[in-house]
Structure 1
Amino acid sequence: MESIKTQVQSVQGKPLHIKKAAVIGSGVMGASIAAHLANVGIPCYLLDILPQSLSSEEENKGLTLEDPQVRNKLATTALKRLGKMKPAAFYDPSFVERITPGNVEDDLRRIQEVDWIVEVVVENLDVKKELLAKIEKHWKPGTIVTTNTSGISIEAMAEELSDEFKASFMGTHFFNPPRYMKLLEVIPHPLTDSTLLEQMVAFCEKVLGKGVVLAKDTPNFIANRIGTYGLIVSMQEMRDNGYTVDDIDAVSGPAMGRPKSATFRTLDIVGLDTFVHVARNVYEQVEDEEEKQAFALPDYVQEMVRRGWIGEKGGQGFYKKIKTDQGSEILSLDIKTLEYQPKNKVKGTSLDAAKQAKQAPNKLKALYQADDQYAKLAWDLLKKVLIYSAEKVGEIADTIVEIDQAMKWGFNWELGPFEAWDAIGLVESVKRMEKEGLTVPAWVKEWVAEGHESFYEREADQLLYVNKGELRELQTRPTHISLKDKKSKKEAVLSNSGASLIDIGDGVACLEFHSPNNAIGADILMLIQQSMDEVRKNFKGLIIANEGRNFCVGANIMQLLMEAQSGEWDEIDLIVRQFQETMYNLKYFEKPVIAAPHQMTLGGGVEVCMGADVVVPHAETYYGLVEVGVGLIPGGGGCKEMALRASNQIESIKDADLQPVVNKAFETIGLAKVSTSAHEAKKLGLLRKSDPIVLERDAQLYRAKQEVLSLTNAGYRAPIEKKIKVVGENGKAVLQMGVYMMHQAGYISDYDRFIANKLAHVIAGGSVPAGSLVSEQYLLDLEREAFISLCGEPKTQQRIQHMLTKGKPLRN
């Protein structure tokens, strides 16, 4: 034990540096964890057991069980499967090369080369114990060893291992899929070294980009304990009170601040067999009989599993998709008859009220304040979850904060249980619970009796939360900057209906979009202009970032459609000119401009970023110039910027051919390509190779701020405009020939071809000789002319209308 203490103390205060890892177990979860390690630049081994038999293909090749390609088959097959996964497991498909497949018989000794060993084998205590014993034989003291488990006891797994091993051992429960799910529950063993634990938490947050919560070593830990309980409450409520699958999902989705998949769609996605396994884990391990019965599964659930109706992977579950003459139809299950019936569109005053309200707390409050059967159902679903969560404070987690964060990050709830309790009114809801005969935990009653009206309170500049009967400050990392928190402290310098300029300290301002879907309209353009004036006088630089679900879905196409249908061509010309001029001025602004996009960043959102000195995207940024999908081309400088980047790319290369580079840019815009990650956006040429990608979403704004300060300290000078080399008339003919071939092959429609030819004219530089040097304004004029002419086309207007009403492109 002394040796590990010495090693840990030697690194105290330093960040954990993991150069290489080993993942043992190549099932879906293990392979996906390996993929995410590869995503963040950590090469790893992926090991599994030896296969027990040969496939017919292997026999035909004359292979034996001793051949290396057979011995490594499980891991190599897993890597092939990763490449086909949807959503994609890798930020970039080439990252698969960072994973080396192997097997535990031949390659377990390789764990001496790594800094982190992740065990991800089957959820069976005996199997895990056996493997951990083998790992210890090859283990290099000080190497971190973690187990990925959804609920098996960490202490029980390690009971036969040495204390020295236990000091480096803990649970790391990744949520599936590991790339996309933010939650990572870290579960320490009683002997886990505290310094190593702190370092591991910081590493998982900063390097893996996870939201980490410390969980206690109890059945199913935090998120699955509370989440499973809530799902069973919904099942029991449906069975006992005659509600339908459609009723429960209508109430337990966005109306309550939960995902659209609500209850039963979520279960179909997860798999009913997986859910039953997790529920039984609690049922079999808890000792309190009342709690045990709370996790007892209804008979109809067990019958569904027996029949194989386990959800998507079984072809049917609580929902079933069938083909009809009109296409397809979704049916929902009647649990009384176990027959499927057409989905029922659920309506109610409470649901309407929730839909009209803005933001999750207000939606939840509106839902409960109504007086209909769905308001009552919402109350009956939530009240038990709130009480159960309160009962588990101290048992499954130290504070209410871990429970709230686990549910938000692991189940995608907008509000954790205690935040939801605050939203509906703590004092009144406790009275109602007691009136209905429910037992409210004593600590909650005592808190209310002391005169408190919520679990979270704001005092001056601090956010406080209740912990053991006292208010404690909610600590946040210095790298976590909250725009919401800044605005609550009245630090917004400018604001209108579409955006705000917020002082985030150290002489840096942040422009935040907050229009519906963060779509760019006249209000946002006006505030960008006003913000440049303000920053010019009072700040070192400007960041463009926000905390919306998506960074920006593009321009306000509804406003554009209304103007086009009214024939207001001068007004459209004015709007497009204003957009172009604003983006141009932003690009050549005398102070540094940094953009920090995340999630969906489309059309005009990309054009806003393209003029920034540095773009600091979150890794999960889905980035693309998608205007062709609504019958247009980029009109705010997107075409011009792609032509400029093509010109810059070949500028320093002697005798370089510009045409292939322009062809690629044309294809990216013409096919409305959207990246599946920030890494892919670089490959598409939409982001620069030098743009830094951030894994930790909560630290993205901080990183953008550091870029502003770094450029300022280096004596920032605004960029100087230079001419753009274009492929001209001859290059345009090449592009249009490609369009013709695609049309002839049936890949694009007549109208797609019409739009593509307009795009070719713009990105080629119009009717000038090949190799001509043109100005940015020249290309902007071509862009605007093509954009406005397309607005007048009936088929473009049809495409815009279809996107607004159906949410997907129309091929007309």
Structure 2
Amino acid sequence: MSQTKFIVRKVAVLGAGVMGAQIAAHLVNAKVPTVLFDLPAKDGNKNGIALKAIDGLKKLKPSPLSNKDAVNYIQPANYEDHLHLLKECDLVIEAIAERMDWKTDLYAKVAPHLGEHTIFATNTSGLSINQLAAGVPAELAPRFCGVHFFNPPRYMHLVEIIPCTGSDAAMLDNLERFLVTTLGKGVIRAKDTPNFVANRIGVFSMLATIANAEKFGIRFDVVDDLTGPRLGRPKSATFRTADVVGLDTFAHVVKTMDDTLPNDPWHAYFKSPQWLQQLIADGSLGAKTKRGIYKKEGKQMFVFDAAKGEYVGAGEKGDDAVKAILKIENPAEKFKQLRASSHPQAQFLWACFRDVFHYISYHLGDIANCARDVDFAIRWGFGWTVGPFETWQAAGWQQVAGWIDEDIKAGKTLAAAALPAWALEADRAGVHFADGSFDATAGKLVGRSTLDVYQRQLAPAKVLGETAGLLGETVFENEGVRAFTTGDDVLVVSFKSKAHAIGPDVIDGVNTAIDIAEARFKGLVIWQTEEPFSVGADLQSMLPAFMMGDWDAIDTMVRRFQTTSMRLRYSHIPTVAATQGYVFGGGCEFAMHCDKVVAALESYVGLVEVGVGLLPGGGGCKEFALRAAQNAQGDVLAALKDSFMAIATAKVATSGHEAQEIGFFRNSDSVVFNAYELLYVAKQQALALYETGYRPPLKVAGFPVAGRAGAASIKGQLVNMLEGHFISQHDFTIAALIADVMTGGDVEQGTLVNEQWILDLERKAFMTLLKSSKTQDRIANMLTTGKPLRN
């Protein structure tokens, strides 16, 4: 008999602060009805505090909500009137301020009201779960654990589950299943040590950077220039990250380490530096007060100079010689040169890496179950592209271990603690291998979780050293695509081009894949091995024909693009697009023509061609005209106006749900919260369509268009925008052409046209714009700077 399914029908979040409100937002994104509790307000509506927090969610950017209606499913509540609602909740997440006494007082108040199977979890970034568990009644202890979401909860992939000694194993598995599939999270199980895994190491890395910046005399803006994307880390790098997190919050986490880790060999560094305490005392708390380590006055940016104790003009960059070392592809060579260089910035960077490597190897046994958890925690919780253990292993484990050992003995490291014996073993090649990652406590390798939910991840996140290899068995490959199968009668196509741009090779590849799928498979899925889905047409591939003025060649290319879109719609096998990241231009057109879209929640979708002075030429205008005719209740123009605006303003949906609201995706398309489950779900959808006796849709003989009267109505509004200087003359030209195409050209209102009619109009308009000098300027600007030109 298999176990009973764990179904989460409703969740309560206790505490409507920043984290509580945003956790509630992400729960309702996932269609989980949520009750948001806070203290009763002193005046007015007793739910005032929760109501204010819910209202605040609508104003945040980037939005914690994936669609505008989600917020209506958060029910405001207060502890005086609504404790009885807790009975109906399968999961209760406490997310109040980080104070042990406040939390345990609340537990005493809510415990009698919880259902007999309710999971009770505390969202804390560092308090002891076992100490908190001592504050819950004995019968609740098996259903109690820590769950640590990262800020902002919608976007940060990491959630740490921290069991207490009494946590029930089946309860922890159920919670993990819910977090992984329903909320789309990357879960690691952490030990109950201060700040757990990600914050313990991520915050130490920031403290080591601060200490080494002072030691080598490196300005904060230079540190940020060197420790951001150049190291595979977020743009906010080190000091900007502290501003974003809040200097007071950062100081609080540091104080937790100071108070709870008195015997840590690095304890001397678990202090907020004097300059940081001074900024906090002055109320300069970072982004939330518009002034922290950085501040902006007018257009000028200033950065705090700790040595001078005052703000100075910001914008200094790292030295070119040091940046050249960071560009070296071979990690072993890069580290060798950083360590050997006498440049203070290079010495600073080596010291930052070395001190983090020293710390994580020394503490691996007491803070994590294995090295993989450390690397995933830092990648998913702090946004590094490569984890610290992976970085060390890639650079040559033994060589780097030897250098760290030398520096410890020479007194150059932040702490004098010796490297653990395992790190210096003569035959050690690293910590990640094909059959597992190193667990320092047991001295053995630990495999991946065998929890059933991970069977849905056909291409899970990998750490360096795990067998990477190509997924599945290659069926066909050309310069543009690889088509493969994982043995279940579905052909999967992945693009090989940069940013998965669609050029001639990709178009040829997709057509060949459709031929093969029609002959031998049950369905076709377009899925990329990593983000983005596609940035659209490959303008670079058009350049030679463009330079020579070979307009016929380009016209043929656009026609081929349109034919491929139409084949995705009318082929004799079900086609499914599995999207994540950018789904722009031609990528969006391909997705719109598939039978089904399975979108990762974080799919950013738009027909953005006006940014390069063009209009959608791969069937996007046609598809919206057709959908408007199908959805119109008598008035085609009314049904068309919103989609016209979406194209004319290059509107981008900021989630899979919003893509459905705007109309890029259909309401019958699916949104998946965990991007690692995309391929599995897309293949299941293709097979389900096949099993229902799939036939392609019948081609519409004729559908009504809004005609020249509809185009005139739209152009009337465009004239107002032009005269009000909201758009340029060229914007007007492009938008007017889009209006002509989408309304069916120079025909009477209500005229019946077929898809090819609109495709021909679309292609002609595309070619007209391509020959215009203003469009050519926009394309050149995009290809050279990567930014749109408004001319």
Is TM more than 0.5 here?
A: yes
Give the superposition deviation at 1:616. Answer: 0.1
Distance 1:627 1:534, change over 3 A: same
Secondary structure in 2 aligned to 1:659?
helix
* Paired AA for residue 122 in structure 2: T
Secondary structure in 1 aligned to 2:303?
strand
Give the superposition deviation at 1:125. Answer: 0.8
CA distance in 2, matches of 1:486, 1:720: 43
CA distance in 1, matches of 2:66, 2:516: 38
For the aligned residue pairs, the C-alpha RMSD in angstroms reads 2.3
The answer to whether the 8 Å contact 2:95/2:123 transfers is yes
Q: How far does the alpha carbon of each residue in 1:447-490 deviate from its partner, in whole angstroms, 9 at most, with x for none?
A: x42x23122223xxx66656633344334621111288774367
TM-score w.r.t. length of structure 2: 0.93
* Partner residue, 1:427: 398
* Partner residue, 1:453: 429
* Partner residue, 1:332: 303
The answer to whether the 8 Å contact 1:456/1:466 transfers is no
CA distance in 2, matches of 1:368, 1:554: 40
Q: Does 1:709 align with 2:687?
A: yes
Give the superposition deviation at 1:718. Answer: 2.5
**1:615 pairs with 597, 617, 634, which one?**
597
* Paired AA for residue 576 in structure 1: V
Distance 1:363 1:454, change over 3 A: closer
The answer to whether the 8 Å contact 2:301/2:315 transfers is yes
CA distance in 2, matches of 1:408, 1:137: 39
Distance 1:165 1:92, change over 3 A: same
* Partner residue, 1:473: 447
Q: How far does the alpha carbon of each residue in 1:764-802 deviate from its partner, in whole angstroms, 9 at most, with x for none?
A: 111122222222222111111111111111221222233
Q: How far does the alpha carbon of each residue in 1:674-697 deviate from its partner, in whole angstroms, 9 at most, with x for none?
A: 112111111111101100110111
The answer to whether the 8 Å contact 1:791/1:797 transfers is yes
CA distance in 1, matches of 2:350, 2:670: 46
Secondary structure in 2 aligned to 1:620?
strand
The answer to whether the 8 Å contact 2:474/2:483 transfers is yes
Q: How far does the alpha carbon of each residue in 1:293-333 deviate from its partner, in whole angstroms, 9 at most, with x for none?
A: 1322322222222223332122222322232xxxx233333
The answer to whether the 8 Å contact 2:372/2:437 transfers is no
CA distance in 1, matches of 2:690, 2:737: 41
Q: Does 1:318 align with 2:293?
A: yes
Unaligned runs of 5+ in 2: 410-416
CA distance in 2, matches of 1:252, 1:429: 20
* Partner residue, 1:507: 489
The answer to whether the 8 Å contact 1:251/1:377 transfers is no
CA distance in 1, matches of 2:103, 2:619: 57
CA distance in 2, matches of 1:662, 1:739: 15
Q: How far does the alpha carbon of each residue in 1:419-469 deviate from its partner, in whole angstroms, 9 at most, with x for none?
A: 1111111111111111222655435336x42x23122223xxx66656633
Distance 1:124 1:471, change over 3 A: closer
CA distance in 2, matches of 1:220, 1:295: 13
Distance 1:618 1:157, change over 3 A: same
Secondary structure in 1 aligned to 2:604?
strand
CA distance in 2, matches of 1:121, 1:466: 33
* Partner residue, 1:264: 239
Q: Does 1:798 align with 2:782?
A: no
Distance 1:413 1:289, change over 3 A: closer
Where do 1:398-797 residues align within 5 Å?
A: 398-437=369-408, 441-445=419-423, 448-449=425-426, 451-458=427-434, 468-475=442-449, 477-482=454-459, 487-488=469-470, 491-560=473-542, 563-650=545-632, 656-723=634-701, 724-797=703-776
Where do 1:238-277 residues align within 5 Å?
A: 238-277=213-252
Where do 1:235-384 residues align within 5 Å?
A: 235-288=210-263, 290-323=265-298, 328-337=299-308, 338-352=310-324, 354-355=326-327, 357=329, 366=334, 369=337, 372=341, 373=343, 374-384=345-355
Secondary structure in 1 aligned to 2:140?
helix
Give the superposition deviation at 1:85. Answer: 1.0
* Paired AA for residue 796 in structure 1: T
* Partner residue, 2:412: none
Q: How far does the alpha carbon of each residue in 1:400-437 deviate from its partner, in whole angstroms, 9 at most, with x for none?
A: 12111111110011112221111111111111111222
Q: How far does the alpha carbon of each residue in 1:546-594 deviate from its partner, in whole angstroms, 9 at most, with x for none?
A: 1333221222234445643542322321221221122222222222211
CA distance in 1, matches of 2:419, 2:5: 40
Unaligned runs of 5+ in 1: 1-9, 53-64
CA distance in 2, matches of 1:543, 1:254: 33
* Partner residue, 1:14: 4
CA distance in 1, matches of 2:193, 2:375: 17
The answer to whether the 8 Å contact 1:257/1:363 transfers is no
Of stretches 412-421 and 479-488 in structure 1, the one that deviates more from structure 2 is 479-488
The answer to whether the 8 Å contact 2:472/2:487 transfers is no
* Paired AA for residue 168 in structure 1: R
The answer to whether the 8 Å contact 1:256/1:367 transfers is no
CA distance in 1, matches of 2:520, 2:95: 53
CA distance in 1, matches of 2:477, 2:347: 39
CA distance in 1, matches of 2:436, 2:686: 28
Q: How far does the alpha carbon of each residue in 1:609-652 deviate from its partner, in whole angstroms, 9 at most, with x for none?
A: 111111000111111111112211001111111111112223xx
The answer to whether the 8 Å contact 2:213/2:348 transfers is no
CA distance in 2, matches of 1:281, 1:407: 19
* Partner residue, 2:18: 28
Secondary structure in 2 aligned to 1:343?
coil
Q: How far does the alpha carbon of each residue in 1:355-412 deviate from its partner, in whole angstroms, 9 at most, with x for none?
A: 474xxxx578646556643444332111211221122223222111211111111001
CA distance in 2, matches of 1:426, 1:499: 35
The answer to whether the 8 Å contact 1:498/1:523 transfers is yes
The answer to whether the 8 Å contact 1:577/1:784 transfers is yes
Give the superposition deviation at 1:264. Answer: 1.3
The answer to whether the 8 Å contact 1:320/1:340 transfers is no
CA distance in 1, matches of 2:520, 2:300: 58
The answer to whether the 8 Å contact 1:518/1:548 transfers is no
CA distance in 2, matches of 1:13, 1:608: 42
Give the superposition deviation at 1:26. Answer: 0.8
CA distance in 2, matches of 1:534, 1:526: 12
Q: Does 1:233 align with 2:208?
A: yes
**1:39 pairs with 6, 22, 29, which one?**
29
Secondary structure in 2 aligned to 1:617?
strand
CA distance in 1, matches of 2:686, 2:152: 34
* Paired AA for residue 512 in structure 1: S
* Partner residue, 1:4: none
* Paired AA for residue 181 in structure 1: M
* Partner residue, 1:107: 82
Give the superposition deviation at 1:16. Answer: 1.9
* Partner residue, 1:178: 153
Distance 1:391 1:666, change over 3 A: same
The answer to whether the 8 Å contact 1:309/1:316 transfers is yes
CA distance in 1, matches of 2:492, 2:325: 33
TM-score w.r.t. length of structure 1: 0.90
The answer to whether the 8 Å contact 1:350/1:366 transfers is no
The answer to whether the 8 Å contact 2:221/2:314 transfers is no
Of stretches 429-438 and 397-406 in structure 1, the one that deviates more from structure 2 is 429-438
Distance 1:413 1:136, change over 3 A: same
CA distance in 1, matches of 2:264, 2:119: 38
